[in-house]
Chains A and B, each alone.
Chain A
C-alpha cells in the first residue's frame, strides 16, 4: 500500500504540471496571450521568470517527496531507520541558496514597479488624456477639449463618454482615476493595468498601448451587488483617429440644433 501512495503523490504532481502545460493552450493570458503595453511586456517577462523558478522548485521537491515515500515504503522490517536530528551544513545550504534566489527576485522586480507607479519615473512626455471616475456601476470618462490639457476640475468644453476609454496608441498616456462613491478598481487584462479607485484620492495611471484595438476592462474591487457588471472597454486608436474622434465627439456633444449662420438656416430649410 505504501508504494501505491508514493505513486499517488508523485502522480498528483505530474498531473498538475501536465495540466498546466496543456491547459496553457486553452486557458492562459487573454487575447493573443501577449501584453499590449510596454510595461505589460516586462511584467510578462517577470511572470515567466518566476514561473520557471517555481516550476523547477515544484518538480524538484516533488521528486524528492516521491523518492522519500517510495524508500519509506520499501524499508524492511529489520532495517534500521536513519536516526538523525538534522544536519547543520544542510540547514545552512538550504537557507542561503533560497535566500539568494528570493532576494534576486525581489530586487529584479524593482525597476518595473518604479516605472509603473513612482511619478518621478513616469515617461517624460506622458499625455494626460482623461479623467476616469468610477461609480456604482459604471465608468464616467472626461476628456479635455482638443488642444487643451486635462484640468483637475471639469471645464465647460470637456468631452464625456461612459464606459469607453479612448486613448491614442503608441505613446505614453495617463489617466486620473477617481471614485464617486465606494472603492472600485480598473483592470484591463490585455494591457496588464490594474489600479484601485479610492474615494477621496486622485490616482494617476500611465500606460503605453503598443497595438491599436479594443480591450475589455473590468472592475477588480468589490463595489456592491453590481460589481460584476461594470463592463467597459479601452479603445486604443492611432493618434489621427483619436483626434478625429474628438472632433466628432465634441460636435455631437455640443450640437444644439441651432443653426450657426443665416446661410445654414437656408440650407437646412432646403433640406426639408
Chain B
C-alpha cells in the first residue's frame, strides 16, 4: 500500500484521472471543481474552505485598501482638487475635496486595511490554511472548529473598521496610533469613538490570528504524514511554522497594549498619558504615564509582524522557484536556518522604529547592530534563490514571473532598509517618503507579488482548472511596471525630505518642485490599481472557464499534488507516505520525467548513491 503512488495527472492529461480514476480505495468521489466555492457561505470546518474564505475576503479587501490608496495619491498629485468619481458622493460635504482630516483618515485606513485585512490574513489565513494540511499530508487541521472561528472573527473586525468610518470621519491617528493623538478623545476629529472602534477591530484581528497560529503550530508538529520529517517539509511549511511561533509570542503584547489604550480612552487610566497635558482645550490630564511605552509595546508586536507579513511569502516563493526552475532549492537547510534567524532577530529590532523618538540613545546603538544584522539572513536567502534558478530550466509563466519579481523587489526593499537601519542616516530619512518606498517594496513588491504567484500556482488545486497564463502575464507586466513607476521615485522624494502623511506638502518652498513627479507617480498608481481587475477577472473567470487540469499540472513534488483537484473532504484518497524532500526536480532518480514526487518510493541504496555523488 505504502509504495503505491496515485496515478497523478500529467499536463495534457487534464481531466483524465478525474473521469476514470474517480474512485480510489477509500471511497472518495472526485468532487466537482467548484465544490469549495459553493461551501464559501457555510460555517465549514474544512481547512480548504476556510482558506478559500480567507482568500476571497482578502482579495476584496485588497481592492478596498487600493481604493483608499488612490485617494491618498489623488491628493498628493492634485491637492485640493475635486476628487473624480467619489468626490461628489463621499466628500460632498467638503465640496468634493479631500479635507485634511479625511486625508489622514485615508492614510490610516489604507495601512490598517492592507496590513490587518489583506497581507496578514492572505498569507497565514488563506495560504496557511489551504496548504498546511495538504503539504504535510494531514486530512485537516488539528482544531477544525478553532480554525473556522479564526475566519469568522475577521468579520466583527471588518465591521468595526467599517463602522469607524462613520464616526468623526474615521480614525486618523496613523496605523501606529501613537498616543496622545490616539489616547485623548478630543485630540483630533478622528480620535473619538472611531479610534476606539479601530482598537477593538485590531484586537479582534489579533484574536483571529492567535487562533490560527495555535492551530498551525499544533498541526505542523503533530500531524505530519509518515516519513515527513522536519527537514523534508516544504519551505512553505517551515515559514508558516516560524510565522505561527512569531505570532504566538508577539501578539499578546499588542493585545495587552490595545486594552491599555482602550482603558486610557474610556476608563481614565493613564498608562500612556503624562500629567498636566492640555490637548485641544480638553481638561488637563491626570497623568503618570509615558507615551513611549505604547511605541515599545506596539513595535514589539509590529516589528515581528513585518516578518509575519513576509516569511510565508518567502516560503511559498521558494517552493515555486524550485518547481519552475525544475531544480532543487539551493541550500535547503541554510534557507530554514535563515528563516529562523530572521524570526529570532525580529524580536530584538523593534527599537529601530524609534530612533528619533527620544528613547535612551544607547538603545539606539544596540538596535542598530541587531537591525543591520537581520540583513544577513535576508541576503543568504536572496543568494540561495539566485542559486536555485542558476542553471535551471526556467518556465517563464505568470507564476515564475511573479516569483522573479519577488526576488528582484525584495533586493530593492532589503537594500533600502540598510539606510534606515543606520541610525545617523535614519535621523534624516525617518518619517520621509524613503520609508514609504522601503516598506512598499517589501510588502507589495515582495509579499504581494509572491501572493500573485501563489494564487496562480495553487489555483489548479483549488478549482481543478488552470488560470489563464497569458492574462496572468499581462497582469504581471502591467503591475510590475506601474509598481516601479509608483514606488521607485519615492526613494528620491525621501532624499529630498518629503515628509509622510502630509495632506499638502507643496506649500513648503523646498518641496514645490516635487509636484510633477508626484503626478507621474499617481498616474502609475492608477494604472496599477486598475490592473488588479485583470487578476480578479482571471481568478473568477478561470473558476468557470479555465482549462481543466489533473492532479499535478505543474509536475511538482509536494504532497498536495497527489490529491484530487480540488481535494475532497479529508484530502488524501491514499494516505501519503513521504520518502524525499520536496525539491527533487531533475534528480538522477527520476526516470523519464524531471520530478520525483515525495510519495514515490526509491530504494534506500539508490538514494544513498545519489547523495554520495555529491549533489
Bits for B180-194, please: 1 = Cβ < 8 Å to A, else 0. 110010011101000
Give the residues from 8 to 37 in chain A that come closer than 8 angstroms, CB to CB, to chain B. 8-9, 12-13, 15-16, 19-20, 23-24, 26-31
Which of A20, A72, A99, A181 is B394 in contact with, Cβ under 8 Å? Answer: A72
B497 touches A20 (CB 8 A): no
Which A residues lie within 8 Å of B587 (CB)?
A: 83
B362 touches A118 (CB 8 A): yes
| Distance of B247 from chain A, by nearest CB (Å) | 27
Give the residues from 73 to 99 in chain A that come closer than 8 angstroms, CB to CB, to chain B. 73, 75, 79-87, 90-91, 94-95, 98-99
| Distance of A102 from chain B, by nearest CB (Å) | 5
Segment with Cβ contacts to B, from A148-156, A158-166, A217-225: A217-225
Which A residues lie within 8 Å of B489 (CB)?
A: 19, 23, 27
Question: Does any Cβ of A come within 8 Å of B100's Cβ?
Answer: yes
Which residue of chain A is the closest to B429 with respect to CB atoms?
Answer: A47
Which B residues lie within 8 Å of A107 (CB)?
A: 369
Question: Does any Cβ of A come within 8 Å of B514's Cβ?
Answer: yes
Question: Does any Cβ of A come within 8 Å of B69's Cβ?
Answer: no
| Distance of B447 from chain A, by nearest CB (Å) | 18
Give the residues from 118 to 159 in chain A that come closer than 8 angstroms, CB to CB, to chain B. 118, 136
B422 touches A27 (CB 8 A): no
B173 touches A222 (CB 8 A): yes
Interchain CA distance A219-B503 in the complex, whole Å: 12
- Other A-B contacts than A47-B419, A68-B390, A71-B390, 7 sampled, CB-CB below 8 A, are A46-B422, A58-B412, A98-B376, A106-B369, A194-B430, A222-B173, A228-B504
A95 touches B380 (CB 8 A): yes
| Distance of B464 from chain A, by nearest CB (Å) | 26
B424 touches A84 (CB 8 A): no
A9 touches B358 (CB 8 A): no
B431 touches A187 (CB 8 A): yes
B383 touches A109 (CB 8 A): no
- Chain B residues proximal to chain A, CB less than 8 Å: 99-101, 104, 172-174, 178-181, 184, 187-189, 191, 274-275, 277-280, 287, 290-292, 325-332, 334, 356-358, 361-362, 364-365, 368-369, 372-373, 375-376, 379-380, 382-384, 386-387, 389-394, 396, 401, 404-405, 407-408, 411-412, 415-416, 418-419, 421-425, 427-428, 430-432, 477, 480, 484, 488-489, 491-493, 495-497, 499-505, 507-511, 513-514, 517, 583, 585-588, 594, 615
Contact A199/B291 with A113-B364, A221-B178 known, Cβ cut-off 8 Å: yes
Which residue of chain B is the closest to A232 with respect to CB atoms?
Answer: B508
Question: Does any Cβ of B come within 8 Å of A110's Cβ?
Answer: yes
Which A residues lie within 8 Å of B499 (CB)?
A: 187, 218-220, 228
Which of B179, B358, B383, B504 is A195 in contact with, Cβ under 8 Å? Answer: B358
- Chain A residues proximal to chain B, CB less than 8 Å: 1-2, 5, 8-9, 12-13, 15-16, 19-20, 23-24, 26-31, 39-40, 42-43, 46-47, 50-51, 53-54, 57-58, 61-62, 64-65, 68-69, 71-73, 75, 79-87, 90-91, 94-95, 98-99, 102-103, 105-107, 109-110, 112-114, 116-118, 136, 180-183, 185, 187, 189-190, 192-196, 198-201, 203, 216, 218-229, 231
A69 touches B394 (CB 8 A): yes
Which B residues lie within 8 Å of A65 (CB)?
A: 386, 389, 404, 407-408
> Which 8 pairs between the two chains have the least Cβ-Cβ distance?
A200-B274, A72-B394, A82-B391, A189-B497, A86-B331, A117-B361, A225-B101, A228-B502
Which A residues lie within 8 Å of B513 (CB)?
A: 26-27
| Distance of B196 from chain A, by nearest CB (Å) | 17
B428 touches A228 (CB 8 A): no
| Distance of B589 from chain A, by nearest CB (Å) | 10
Which residue of chain B is the closest to A67 with respect to CB atoms?
Answer: B390
Which of A98, A110, A181 is B280 in contact with, Cβ under 8 Å? Answer: A181
Which residue of chain A is the closest to B583 with respect to CB atoms?
Answer: A85
| Distance of A69 from chain B, by nearest CB (Å) | 6
From B404, B428, B508, name the one whose CB has the most chain A CB atoms within 10 angstroms: B428
A222 touches B287 (CB 8 A): no
Which A residues lie within 8 Å of B329 (CB)?
A: 85-86
Which residue of chain B is the closest to A94 with respect to CB atoms?
Answer: B383
Contact A196/B419 with A27-B493, A61-B386, A105-B372 known, Cβ cut-off 8 Å: no
Which A residues lie within 8 Å of B615 (CB)?
A: 83-85
Interchain CA distance A87-B380 in the complex, whole Å: 12
Interchain CA distance A95-B488 in the complex, whole Å: 28
B368 touches A113 (CB 8 A): yes
B372 touches A106 (CB 8 A): yes
A82 touches B390 (CB 8 A): yes
Interchain CA distance A99-B404 in the complex, whole Å: 25
Which B residues lie within 8 Å of A225 (CB)?
A: 99-101, 104, 172, 188-189, 503
Which B residues lie within 8 Å of A94 (CB)?
A: 379-380, 383
Which of B174, B274, B390 is A199 in contact with, Cβ under 8 Å? Answer: B274
A227 touches B502 (CB 8 A): yes
Which A residues lie within 8 Å of B376 (CB)?
A: 95, 98-99, 102
Interchain CA distance A79-B430 in the complex, whole Å: 51
A64 touches B386 (CB 8 A): yes
Interchain CA distance A53-B39 in the complex, whole Å: 53
Interchain CA distance A182-B411 in the complex, whole Å: 37
Which B residues lie within 8 Å of A227 (CB)?
A: 100, 104, 501-503
| Distance of A6 from chain B, by nearest CB (Å) | 8
| Distance of B280 from chain A, by nearest CB (Å) | 6
Interchain CA distance A113-B375 in the complex, whole Å: 20
Which B residues lie within 8 Å of A103 (CB)?
A: 369, 372-373
Which residue of chain B is the closest to A215 with respect to CB atoms?
Answer: B510
Which of A8, A26, A109 is B422 in contact with, Cβ under 8 Å? Answer: A109
B510 touches A224 (CB 8 A): no
B384 touches A86 (CB 8 A): yes
Which A residues lie within 8 Å of B424 (CB)?
A: 39, 42-43, 46, 109, 112-113, 116
Which of A72, A114, A181, A198 is B325 in contact with, Cβ under 8 Å? Answer: A72
Interchain CA distance A86-B386 in the complex, whole Å: 11
Q: Please name 7 pairs of A and B residues whose Cβ atoms are closer than 8 Å in the assembled complex, sorted by A.
A: A2-B394, A5-B401, A30-B511, A85-B328, A103-B372, A136-B279, A183-B180
Which residue of chain A is the closest to B405 with respect to CB atoms?
Answer: A9
Which A residues lie within 8 Å of B334 (CB)?
A: 86, 91, 95
Which residue of chain B is the closest to A177 with respect to CB atoms?
Answer: B358
Which residue of chain B is the closest to A217 with respect to CB atoms?
Answer: B508
A82 touches B291 (CB 8 A): no
Interchain CA distance A2-B400 in the complex, whole Å: 11
Which residue of chain A is the closest to B371 with respect to CB atoms?
Answer: A106
Which of B275, B380, B416, B586 is A200 in contact with, Cβ under 8 Å? Answer: B275
Which residue of chain A is the closest to B362 with respect to CB atoms?
Answer: A118
